[in-house]
Amino acid sequence: MTKEQKEIVKTIDRAYSKLYVLNNIKWTAFRDDLFNMNKQDEIKHRKVMQDRDYSKVASISNCAKLFVVHNIAESLLNMYKYTVKDLLIIRKSCLYSQSLVENYRKEIEKAWIDEDIKALADLDYISLINWELYQETLNNRKVA
């Protein structure tokens, strides 16, 4: 893992940790449920992508946390990105995140008062999996 990837993981861990408030609202541990959804999705993804060597990249847990943080932040910026129709073509965790924001926006915003929501929404899975490909993608965006 590169120095930059380690910094991204620190950012993800910090933001994820602050979402503990979602576990203390009702009897349901919402943050943990969302994490488990994303963890299962990442496990399935890695099984499908058996030809890829994941030994030198972020852990399944780090990737699951990335998606928790990313999807919550993205929902804060665009609460109506997904509709029920999208349930058949996106990960269920995306709609779950959007529902959490719709129901508990104030609690999330208070927990993330000092976080850069846009930066969290811009987190990219590829940055944890393949740093060189991520850099190439960023450079291609600048050229276009």
d(CA 69, CA 75): 10
Tokens of 102: 């719709």
Q: Where are the domains of the chain?
A: 3-143
> For residue 127, which phi and psi values (nearest 5 degrees)?
-60, -25
- Taking the C-alpha atoms of residue 6 and residue 14, their distance in angstroms, rounded to an integer, is 12
Mind listing the pLDDT tens digit of every residue in the chain (144 residues)?
889 999 999 999 999 999 999 998 888 999 999 999 999 999 998 888 877 766 668 899 999 999 999 999 999 999 889 888 988 999 999 999 999 999 999 999 999 999 999 999 999 998 998 888 888 888 887 776
